[in-house]
Amino acid sequence: MAINNLVKRLQNIMRQDAGVNGDAQRIEQMVWIFFLKVYDAQEEIWECLDSEEPFRSIIPKELRWRNWAHSKDDEGRLIKDALTGDELLSFINGKLFPVLKGQKSFDETIPGIRISADTPRGKAIVQEVFLEVNQYMKNGTLLRQMIDVVDEIDFNDTSETHTFGDIYESLLKDLQGAGRAGEFYTPRALTDFIIQMLNPKIGEKIGDFAMGTGGFLVSALEYLRPQLKTAADSKAFQNAVLGQEWKPFPYLLAVTNLLLHGIEHPDLHHTDSLGKPMSAYHDKSQKVDVIAMNPPYGGSTEASVKQNFKTEFRSSETADLFMVLIMERLAKHGRAGVIVPDGFLFGTDGTKLAIKQHLLRNFNLHTIIRLPGSIFAPYTSIATNILFFDNDTAEDAPEGYATKDVWFYRMDMPDGYKHFSKTKPMLLAHAEPIREWWHNRHEMTDTDNNNEKSRCFSVAEIIQSDCDFDRCKFPKDEEEILPPKELLENYYAKRRHLEQQIDKTLAEIQRILGIDLDVHEMQDI
């Protein structure tokens, strides 16, 4: 089934219902229906597993998808007593939701489900999901139509295993506020490429502390799956990924996504990853071997959250704080691939400088990939980059540093592409030149523009530049016409960059001339 068509059909149905208002409620309405459909498919698998005890669903028999949601039998014939209209609304509002939330239903013969510390994660998730969602629709006939559309999806068909990430991507374009707080769907090609470069192994833990719908985790699982050889491998596979997400609906989609990919008890948590003091992660058990992330950026952080970080790292920019978190949680000998905005590369304010110095002193930052501005089109044209680093010390690194050299590589647009777009997105094949260069590193110059496409810089050179990572830039092109808000954001970012460069130059002149000026006093004049 075409994803765009599926989402459009569901949205058109909900637009006719007086109870659903706005895109956020439409997403919420879809989430719980998708979840029950996928969970039922997963339960079919659990029922077939050879185990000492027969499988028992945490969902009461009457409320399992298979026992109320179908309106057609296996031969496609209509089921006469299928719930619809007011009867369906009464069932969902009076029985299904109360019971799955752990409350009493209108039918006292069906007790609410109870969760304890001993409840397996794969079962406890049911109540966790339903505590976060609501049923908004008021027209039972329209609700029946919606359930029928979802019921058409065959989640046992491997060709549809990426459905949920694709659904979320389709929904984002309709959300007016999508992307304003750094919420962008990471293209599948990009998550796959980063995972391939990190090369996780069975037995390693892969983490994403701002996982969205779980795109990086799914890419990691698909990369690990061919490595499965033994029963021990399969057990390790079930515990291979760890995810955290603050926003409820991406989190719920991530839970569903991992269930769909065969993870019986997803180690996923609806939590603010920045909400704990960094000292909570000093223990070895809190570390992960591989981190692949696209942290939110562009947003501001509450003062209470900043208190969780050392004074020198207390940035208002979420991307900066996530970088500190990533470094704190990366295990010894671990590897990380992190997407960051351009502002992190050229920023030289006190906090960014401290974070980048910490990165170079304690980690081996070996590669920075410059990405085209349209990589996240159509949601934003913010320029981004991938930082690859290890929790190791590079051979022959200078004293006081774990990094010896940093390689920069600029990913240019493939032939025939001026910009990536919704209809012409990035493909994994477009990363092939990077992969070839990765295994045979050499400096490259773009002869057409006479600028650097790839170059290696020593850590000493980078330190001398106040940790300016803004190297191997894209050539100047005609300015793209952007929405006014995004255009202003870009102008402000450029202004900050220029101001930092001017301040740096003036400070150097002062040092050479031996002139001591109170800059803050000058600014007050």
Q: DSSP states of 110-141 as a string?
A: SPPP---TTS-HHHHHHHHHHTS-------HH
Helix 3-15 to helix 22-48 angle (10° resolution) is 120
pLDDT value at residue 479: 47
- E strand or H helix that includes residue 324: helix 318-329
Percent of the chain exceeding pLDDT 90 equals 49
SS3 289: strand
- Assign 168 a pLDDT band (cuts: 50, 70, 90): low
Query: Which segment of 95-99, 293-297, 344-348, 354-358 scores lowest on mean pLDDT?
Result: 344-348
Token look-up 């913010």 returns: 382
Output 74 or 465, whichever has higher pLDDT.
465
Check pLDDT > 90 for residue 248: no
pLDDT value at residue 181: 43
- Tally the C-alpha atoms within 13 A of residue 297's C-alpha that lie toward its C-beta: 21
8 A C-beta contact, residue 60 and residue 116 = no
Can you tell me the mean pLDDT for 93-98? 94
8 A C-beta contact, residue 405 and residue 396 = no
* 330 beta partners: 288
pLDDT value at residue 485: 65
Q: Identify the CA nearest to 282 among candidates 327, 336, 335.
A: 327
- Assign 22 a pLDDT band (cuts: 50, 70, 90): confident
- E strand or H helix that includes residue 249: helix 248-260
For the full predicted model, state whether its pTM sits above 0.75. yes
Can you tell me the mean pLDDT for 433-446? 93
Distance CA 95, CA 104 (A): 8
Can you tell me the mean pLDDT for 511-525? 59
Q: What does DSSP assign to residue 392?
A: S
Helix 248-260 to helix 22-48 angle (10° resolution) is 30
Distance CA 419, CA 342 (A): 18
Q: For residue 514, what are its two tokens?
A: 């031996």
Which amino acid is residue 204, in one-letter code? E
**CB contact burial 495-525 (16+ within 10 A = b; e otherwise):** eebeebeeeeeeeeeeeeeeeeeeeeeeeee
Distance CA 457, CA 450 (A): 18
What pLDDT digit, counting tens, does each position of 449-494 carry? 668 899 999 999 999 998 989 889 887 654 455 567 666 766 676 6
pLDDT value at residue 451: 82
- Assign 180 a pLDDT band (cuts: 50, 70, 90): very low
